[in-house]
Structure 1
């Protein structure tokens, strides 16, 4: 038996505020975990494809391949994004989690602070082929600066603006909006006859944070000061969040029903022609799964304020997105878990999985595959390298996502119900979120 103290980040999502018992089988090895080698691992994968069934179909053959190579069976559970963070926080607090799991790279510092994840020391990196195989910026989003990473990169991503070429052509619109002013002008032309210009996921807390973060950067704001203190309700952050929600509340280019979306419904609406544009990470594979063909959609950088270009001045237009692979420290099969991480981050598997999901391999050698030179991925790669910024690398990051993401969700609910969304109401929600961080 071992004990793992849950950090404050876990406290916001679970009520386990004191040290919780974590059970790990076998004797403890030098790097954590056990020296025994059971023939089974449990793996929580995040929902990367159009639905959970699609992920099971994608990962199943690869996990079987790993079993054939090592004799280790992997029990797979694909967890929806709407549930994943709370599931992980509960597991870090209780010690009852999987052996290996996917985490959003923005959560790395928060989950690292719980002490529940295996640190990626030089020895552990050597066991999977070395740290230098990975793009350094991806490693930089795997934990707090100055500490051994809490995970290794699996899929790299950034946001882009996807638009329906046919809808644009029929409306006589020659190119996608490059600024937010153009987004509203074009959006009003497109929002008619039962179709809406832009899709959103108003109940998806992570997506809410990603959009609010980008707009906050564009307004010259920060959600935390240099000392790590929350600054959620500054005037610039209020303006940023209001600008996003106003796309529904004032500009009327997002359908009110999108306030309830949280599980990729906006991508399905786009694929079905119900919306003309969507802001998303690496969405091509989902579009194809819903019947679209290559060439049906175009991809462009996320809009920036008028008078600028992506990457210049305050014109950040994406967060540094990605999925990392972590190992629970109390696994009873550290050796098997390391073998699994090595397999999933091997050059060949990186090509297979990132091709399927339309993401960018964080493993350098895998990026040479011509499959990653498409128009879509070129825009995404350029965004990552020139105009994306990492979310706050603070231990409370997951708590921040929950608190501010919920504030944006509630504001979308107000907009959908026809209740006024004002600077005062936005500030009140952000102040409440900031007070939750203090508690």
Structure 2
């Protein structure tokens, strides 16, 4: 790993046709590229099934073979850091876009200067909001967008109709009222489902709700997590289980979206806050597109002082070129291919994610109401997570703190505002190097 300092290693380790418009071949390429793809679908095998035809097409056009490995999210960051440390990594790799600045600071990724950007289609290829999560401000991007994602509130049309509810909630008060009407603990039917044991989902929602309450998480690179605003945002989330009691306490154990999707598809829960790729999971659970709707995650009305109308972070997957690749030109050809409109149409349609290439939205598959809602969220009411080296550590510390608080509530213990502030103070201390 080409690092400016070993402290950064510890920080991140803690966190645990080429053109879609021109089918002409360019068989001047040689050799083999290794590609690490993140697990985006229900299984590693399904990812390979989706990606393999596109990789074969890339080889047909360029003559460059691609060796694919799909890596679970639980292993991906550690694999990237270990590869960077040893110099034995892939040529091209997927990263969670919130890691961009952290990996940029580590030196693991080649920068996309203007020359490199031009070779992969230029800035104008991409949805503008997706470019905000590619690295620190004022520096060349560490990676380019690959798949767009955003959070939304999925709601069951059947459960809503049974309760006589005609439209999804637009404010936080309406969300609580709607969820209460849809909660029947005696029948094990709940208004809302969450992934309480997923530190990443917890960190994302803490960020969103904190920003709704006016929280500022960092001043420059200095963390300011211990604030009444962030505590209020996290408290709003915890209250779904503790005070409003519209979430089954057992959701505190849900580590990924498998169980929340099943609960929602079977009617056990009436609403769930998940990212846009959940549409594929719902289909796999036998839920037809007309069985549910999607709305932006509600915000408090009126907004607290300094609060922002934020309903998601700018979520998604970026594509980077490994620093130690010995085939940089071939890697850039592959990045151009994967972000081209044709590839974007094909792969995002199968994964349930949003194209990052603007031209891909001419496809009818991306013009329905659900995709339109997510695209509007991503373009208009999503905010970029802090693009600073400590972001990955922030996700781990705050996401784990929220997980632990939810576990206490599920275990029957009372969690106070003071408890939330204590967790945030501890996170601040660790962010600042105090332990």
- For the criterion TM > 0.5, the same-fold answer is yes
Partner of 2:13: 14
Q: Are residues 1:113 and 2:105 paired?
A: yes
Partner of 1:203: 197
Q: Are residues 1:244 and 2:237 paired?
A: yes
Partner of 1:228: 221
CA distance in 2, matches of 1:430, 1:96: 37
Q: Which moved more, 1:71-80 or 1:206-215?
A: 71-80
Question: Structure 1's 292 and 65: CA in aligned 2 closer, same or farther, altered over 3 A?
Answer: same
Could you list the runs of 5+ residues in structure 1 that have no partner in the other structure? 17-35
Find the residue that maps to 2:13 and give its secondary structure: coil
Q: Are residues 1:406 and 2:400 paired?
A: yes
Alignment map for 1:142-153 (pairs within 5 Å): 142-153=134-145
Q: Are residues 1:125 and 2:139 paired?
A: no
CA distance in 2, matches of 1:296, 1:7: 51
Match of 1:361 among 344, 355, 359: 355
Partner of 2:24: none
Find the residue that maps to 1:237 and give its secondary structure: helix
Partner of 2:343: 349
Find the residue that maps to 2:222 and give its secondary structure: coil
Alignment map for 1:271-310 (pairs within 5 Å): 271-282=265-276, 283-307=278-302
Could you list the runs of 5+ residues in structure 2 that have no partner in the other structure? 16-27
**1:348 Cα shift?**
0.5
**1:5 Cα shift?**
4.3
Q: Are residues 1:257 and 2:250 paired?
A: yes
Aligned residues: 416
**1:314 Cα shift?**
2.1
Partner of 2:34: 42
Partner of 1:80: 72
Deviations 1:124-154 (A, max 9, x none): 1232233322223322221111111000111
RMSD of aligned alpha carbons: 2.3
Alignment map for 1:47-62 (pairs within 5 Å): 47-62=39-54
Question: Structure 1's 393 and 314: CA in aligned 2 closer, same or farther, altered over 3 A?
Answer: same
Question: Structure 1's 84 and 198: CA in aligned 2 closer, same or farther, altered over 3 A?
Answer: farther
TM-score calculated relative to the size of structure 2 = 0.89
Question: Structure 1's 79 and 262: CA in aligned 2 closer, same or farther, altered over 3 A?
Answer: farther
CA distance in 1, matches of 2:399, 2:34: 30
Aligned partners of 1:9 and 1:399 also within 8 Å: no
CA distance in 2, matches of 1:92, 1:112: 12
Deviations 1:300-344 (A, max 9, x none): 1111102469xx962211111121101111012222211211111
Partner of 1:381: 375
Question: Structure 1's 204 and 93: CA in aligned 2 closer, same or farther, altered over 3 A?
Answer: farther
Partner of 1:103: 95
Aligned partners of 2:131 and 2:144 also within 8 Å: yes
Q: Which moved more, 1:73-82 or 1:322-331?
A: 73-82
CA distance in 2, matches of 1:242, 1:47: 31
CA distance in 2, matches of 1:86, 1:154: 21
